[in-house]
Structure 1
Amino acid sequence: MSAPLRIGNASGFYGDRRAAVREMLEGGPLDVLTGDYLAELTMLILGRDRAKDPARGYARTFLAQLEECLGLAHDRGVRFVVNAGGTNPAGLAEAVRTLADRLGLPTVVAHVEGDDLLPRAAELGFGEPITANAYLGGFGIAACLRAGADVVVTGRVTDASLVVGPGIAHFGWGRDDLDAVAGAMAVGHVLECGTQATGGNLSCFAEHPVEQLLHPGFPLAELHADGSAVITKHPGTGGVVDVDTVTAQLLYEITGARYAGPDAVARFDTVRLTLDGPDRVRLSGVRGEPPPPDAKVCLNALGGHRNEVTFVLTGDRVGAKAALARAQFEAALDPRPAELVWSTVGVQRPDADTEAGASVLLRAQATDPRAEVVGRAFSGAAVEMALASYPGFHLTAPPGGGSAYGVYTPAYVPQTTVPHVAVLPDGTRVDVPAPAVTSPLADLPVPPPAPAAPGPTRRAPLGAVARARSGDKGGTANIGLWATTDEGAAWLAAAITPDTVRALLPEAADLPVTVHPLPNLRAVDVVVEGLLGQGVAASTRFDPQGKAVGEWLLGRTLEIPLRLLPPDDGALP
């Protein structure tokens, strides 16, 4: 097998560690350095930036990173592939050229465009969104790299395309190389969130020394021609790469066993993970299927305006204090907001040894189409209660004006209607044709759960035998659960049913729940539709992106076989 292509990651979101680009360039050899700067909410932010200034709309932090490190990348022969172009990839590409000229560095720049469907929103039946961007694949990136680009800037491609594109360019994959492309998609999914693959946000973090997790290194993959790879990190960097860290990221926000992209569908139920040495995990066996005929489109529209106030309730009689605060506050609201949601954080502990420990937070969150209804008059109504309400009254913040919020909605259009254009370094525009062979996307059939093996049980937290990683897809929460042994995985697959999930998570009691088994990963993937409302920008939920739903689930108790429980399982007496 030929030498692998070494692809690293230096950004998992807009706002990630600024020093990561330098760390990855200095840490060891690389061929390509990727950066993922986009999410549904980020597209909304960048879309509003561009609406204010047509020259904006891209992730400006990438330019700052390049200014510090472009010379280092040039000396080491590392190429960049980033989606930092956001809603204006052409603008960022031009800004990179200007920067390189100012630094005196010979840098060849290309970009990918065509994802922006906003000018065609009415034609495509999208209404009046703020942004409308199709998720593009990796073949446009590959065309730019083959034309000699040192820096490839994209807008809204799939996160995995940042790895798929370099794989196509380096190994010569075509549309028929579905297994190889699907393998690269799985690798790209592991790398896309940066240090989440090297120990960040890991549910079993306590199994590793704190010193090891203080400053996790960013991940890289040694990608092979067949689409398999070794996930690792630069020697001597912090964090850890093991089967748990890679499993956690594989399960993150996938919503089922078929992981769809515009170039292929990766069968995550075929992924195999094996240790390949310290901080090295081999990812192999991924089967690919033809991509769906439709491209996914990220729509962001103005949803209305929002505001919130948080009351602090201290000591005893918390329930009565909350009731008084709610009654007074709601009586003062005229007009009443279209949506007013109350929630509490914490439990009553009047004998706590600190005032903070003896306090409970009462949050009032409001949304309304009318900005004035949830503006300063809303928060001011809470301030006016200061001398006329429950004993110990105070708020966590002074009054503030409301803010606009967006609503993310996925849409789908035929891939053939989406222009996918590689703008090469010399300005040549190369149209990337849609895949000729497609297949409608469908979930794999979910087999009925196997009956649980007989034997004595004990009530204990799910976290005694399982690990978790959770996140969001719009208003849907995704929770990956996995075990570390075959026996634990068999129990998990039998025990975690939709009804079990609804019982453990009362907030999901009336919601659609699907559980997808992933036996190769000793895992199940749980999808709860509607748990997050209309998505992060519009959600009034305490955890609007569902990042901690998995941890909540691990803390819930159920009957677990004694044979699976460790001695210090935290089981209930």
Structure 2
Amino acid sequence: MRLQAELGDVDFITGDYLAEVNIAENAQAHALGQHPGWEETAWDGISQSIEILNEKRIKVIVNGGAHNPKGLAEKVQKLVTEKGFDLKVAYVLGDNLIEEVRDIRAKGLPPHLDSDNSEVHYADHTLDLLRKSDKPIVSANAYLGAREIVRGLEEGADIIIAGRVADASPVIGAAWFWHSWKSSSFNELAGGLIAGHLIECSGYVTGSNFAGFYEYSLDSLYDIVFGIAEIEEDGTCVITKHEKGKGIVTEDTVKCQFLYELQGNVYLNSDVKAILDDVQVQEVGENRVRVSGIKGAPPPPTTKLAIFYHAGYQSEIVVNATGYATSEKFDFYERMMRFGLRRKGILEQFDVLEFQRIGIPEPNPRSQLRSTTYLRIFAEASDPSVNIGLASLLGEFAMQHYSGFHSTMDHLALSSFGPTVKAKLGDVVLARSGDKGGNANIGFFVPTALPSAYPADSPLYQQAWDWLRSILTMAKLKELMADSWNESYFIERVEFPKIMAVHFVVYGVLGRGVSGSSRLDAFAKGMGDWLRDRIVDVPVKILDGRHVRSSGKKDLGKL
């Protein structure tokens, strides 16, 4: 945002900060009081740019308010007041329909976007929120148009913070206000819609995500500036960029972005329909491309409503195979995993269970990397224990596998353990570490005998173990070791389920061994407690299930 303001002459800076994924994720966190509701990057851009926005009188319109546009507007207003600037801040509400859809199981859903097309079949589980009682709705947001934005600008707003207005609505609103269009100026509004569509995705129109990138200097296509739309009174536009920044604007980059996320030859918006059949794209100068031929029609009687519900828990496991008989190796591994799930009685409890093969080994491979491909196990279930059951098979069959088996990393849905807080790993687990020649061994376990431990028959005891073995992957140990990790080291990992322990051996970390090690802690005796002092995301219920050590409250006398 700051670069767009600094590098040249612009009247408006617009921003689309929302995607379906961050709306849903942040809705849950916001409802739990763990997220402000608005997008942090929207605040970051405004706070970095406020001085130059005030100096150049550049207006800003963003939908980064997300679930809490009022909260972000108040934060921006506070900044404006502290700076002593004469800027008016406004916000747009009305998109959040969570209260209206809470009883949707009784009322029924509004029509699906594709319900008029009998040839379209919904994916499995699309309507689970109606059919199952354990699928709570977490967010429901309508995609608003530009009318409220125009009203805000007419009232003198300099910065407008919106919730879920449609991606192009900030641009439509700016052009609508600037050219004093009417709500019935459909050709012009349609042109504004497409202009907004072309610049809404950061650098996509200036060389990012561009299919023909290999025809250009690669160094010109990163650290690029974003696109600029010069919108004429008739709705036609020229797409360009600041010359002082990297990137390219060509007929091809514009065509690529134009074709992105289209609904066909009619682009629907709350304010207008854009008829695209006669669109023309023409280069009119270096990094200047004119877009014309867009026709408009009255908007549809409805607008898009995105409803998100808690569908379940996902797990992803990726294992590798190298070289000879790769296909048979993956056949064997899938058969073994399905056998293990069936024996646990959970094979039929998955909503989704897929064994996906990624890549084909190179014929006559010149390196092991060229010979290696992946089996991706993707699973989804309503009950997180089902996913944990899948993950447990990695340990159960750890020494039963195809030849050359090796795993990159397994990722469990840690969110299944509920809300988390930042805490020290040692607040919930104990550890012991030591040396074996040049290697260090570190074991972590869930305590049982401490006064503050979980009772052995408590459900939290099992949950703490499930969480510990889920979070303490080899990749996580590398992350915890941080500056002390070196890529020359090698890790082995093993689980001891009957004592609820995860154990690592870190090869090479002690150099030549105890007597020849340059490490301050040459015996690795303190390594476990160092790692217990590292901050991780700990589920609240697990942390609260035991009493955290009351450090410093016992009178130890004077030393």
Class of the TM-score when normalised by the shorter of the 2 chains: 0.5 to 0.7
The residue that corresponds to 1:275 in the other structure is 283
Distance 1:84-1:204 versus aligned 2 partners, 3 A rule: same
Please point out which of 159, 166, 174 is paired with 1:166.
174
The residue that corresponds to 2:240 in the other structure is 232
Any residues of structure 2 matched to 1:456-475 within 5 Å, and which? none
Q: CA deviation at 1:373?
A: 0.5
Any residues of structure 2 matched to 1:185-204 within 5 Å, and which? 185-204=193-212
The residue that corresponds to 1:125 in the other structure is 108
Q: CA deviation at 1:54?
A: 8.1
Conserved 8 A contact 1:273-1:281? yes
Q: CA deviation at 1:404?
A: 5.9
Please point out which of 69, 74, 97 is paired with 1:89.
69
Give the aligned residue type for 1:100.
Answer: V
SS, match of residue 249 in structure 1: helix
The residue that corresponds to 1:373 in the other structure is 386
Distance 1:288-1:222 versus aligned 2 partners, 3 A rule: same
1:155 aligns with 2:163: yes
Conserved 8 A contact 1:222-1:231? yes
The residue that corresponds to 1:56 in the other structure is 36
Q: CA deviation at 1:350?
A: 6.6
Conserved 8 A contact 2:231-2:237? yes
Give the aligned residue type for 2:369.
Answer: A
1:27 aligns with 2:7: yes
The residue that corresponds to 2:439 in the other structure is none
In structure 1, list runs of 5 or more residues that go unmatched: 1-20, 406-573
SS, match of residue 366 in structure 1: strand
Deviates more, 1:332-341 or 1:248-257: 332-341
The residue that corresponds to 2:339 in the other structure is 331
Distance 1:401-1:289 versus aligned 2 partners, 3 A rule: closer
Give the aligned residue type for 1:25.
Answer: A
1:321 aligns with 2:304: no
Conserved 8 A contact 2:316-2:410? no
**Highest CA radius of gyration, 1 or 2?**
2
The residue that corresponds to 2:477 in the other structure is none
The residue that corresponds to 1:358 in the other structure is 371
SS, match of residue 361 in structure 1: strand
TM-score between both structures, scaled by the size of structure 2: 0.66
The residue that corresponds to 2:92 in the other structure is 112
The residue that corresponds to 2:314 in the other structure is 306
Q: Relative CO higher for 1 or 2, CA cutoff 8 Å, sep ≥ 6?
A: 1
Q: CA deviation at 1:379?
A: 1.6
Q: CA deviation at 1:55?
A: 6.8
Give the aligned residue type for 1:387.
Answer: M
Q: CA deviation at 1:349?
A: 3.4
Please point out which of 140, 144, 148 is paired with 2:152.
144
Give the aligned residue type for 2:108.
Answer: G
Q: CA deviation at 1:47?
A: 1.0
Conserved 8 A contact 1:257-1:269? yes
Q: CA deviation at 1:382?
A: 1.7
Any residues of structure 2 matched to 1:525-544 within 5 Å, and which? none
Conserved 8 A contact 1:386-1:393? no
Q: In the aligned structure 1, how far is the partner of 2:413 from the partner of 2:145?
A: 41
Distance 1:41-1:398 versus aligned 2 partners, 3 A rule: closer
Give the aligned residue type for 2:397.
Answer: M
SS, match of residue 203 in structure 1: coil
Q: CA RMSD in A?
A: 1.9
Conserved 8 A contact 1:55-1:91? no
Conserved 8 A contact 1:89-1:113? yes
CA offsets 1:368-398 (integer angstroms, 9 cap, x no match): 11111013x3222123322221122221115
The residue that corresponds to 1:556 in the other structure is none
Q: CA deviation at 1:401?
A: 4.5
Give the aligned residue type for 1:194.
Answer: S
Please point out which of 200, 221, 225 is paired with 1:213.
221
The residue that corresponds to 1:396 in the other structure is 408
Conserved 8 A contact 1:132-1:297? yes
CA offsets 1:306-350 (integer angstroms, 9 cap, x no match): 101111111201122112211221211221233210111111237
Q: In the aligned structure 2, how far is the partner of 1:269 from the partner of 1:343?
A: 39
Aligned length: 384
Distance 1:338-1:283 versus aligned 2 partners, 3 A rule: closer
The residue that corresponds to 2:184 in the other structure is 176
Please point out which of 251, 270, 273 is paired with 1:243.
251
Q: CA deviation at 1:251?
A: 0.8
Q: In the aligned structure 2, how far is the partner of 1:54 from the partner of 1:349?
A: 47
Q: In the aligned structure 1, how far is the partner of 2:215 from the partner of 2:308?
A: 40
Q: In the aligned structure 2, how far is the partner of 1:212 from the partner of 1:350?
A: 35
Conserved 8 A contact 2:313-2:413? no
Give the aligned residue type for 2:380.
Answer: T
Q: In the aligned structure 1, how far is the partner of 2:310 from the partner of 2:411?
A: 24
Distance 1:404-1:150 versus aligned 2 partners, 3 A rule: farther
Conserved 8 A contact 1:306-1:403? no
Any residues of structure 2 matched to 1:259-270 within 5 Å, and which? 259-270=267-278
Distance 1:399-1:381 versus aligned 2 partners, 3 A rule: farther
Give the aligned residue type for 1:354.
Answer: S
Conserved 8 A contact 1:374-1:402? no
Give the aligned residue type for 1:232.
Answer: T
Conserved 8 A contact 2:318-2:410? no
Conserved 8 A contact 1:383-1:399? no
Q: In the aligned structure 1, how far is the partner of 2:384 from the partner of 2:33?
A: 23
The residue that corresponds to 1:344 in the other structure is 357
Q: CA deviation at 1:238?
A: 1.2
Q: In the aligned structure 1, how far is the partner of 2:364 from the partner of 2:396?
A: 30
SS, match of residue 395 in structure 1: strand
Please point out which of 277, 293, 298 is paired with 1:285.
293
Q: In the aligned structure 2, how far is the partner of 1:383 from the partner of 1:280?
A: 58
Q: In the aligned structure 2, how far is the partner of 1:75 from the partner of 1:404?
A: 48
Q: In the aligned structure 1, how far is the partner of 2:34 from the partner of 2:145?
A: 25
Distance 1:135-1:399 versus aligned 2 partners, 3 A rule: closer
1:98 aligns with 2:111: no
Give the aligned residue type for 1:265.
Answer: K
Give the aligned residue type for 1:249.
Answer: Q
Q: In the aligned structure 1, how far is the partner of 2:362 from the partner of 2:205?
A: 38
SS, match of residue 119 in structure 1: coil
SS, match of residue 203 in structure 2: helix
Conserved 8 A contact 2:26-2:35? no
Q: In the aligned structure 1, how far is the partner of 2:328 from the partner of 2:309?
A: 40
Q: In the aligned structure 2, how far is the partner of 1:399 from the partner of 1:301?
A: 22
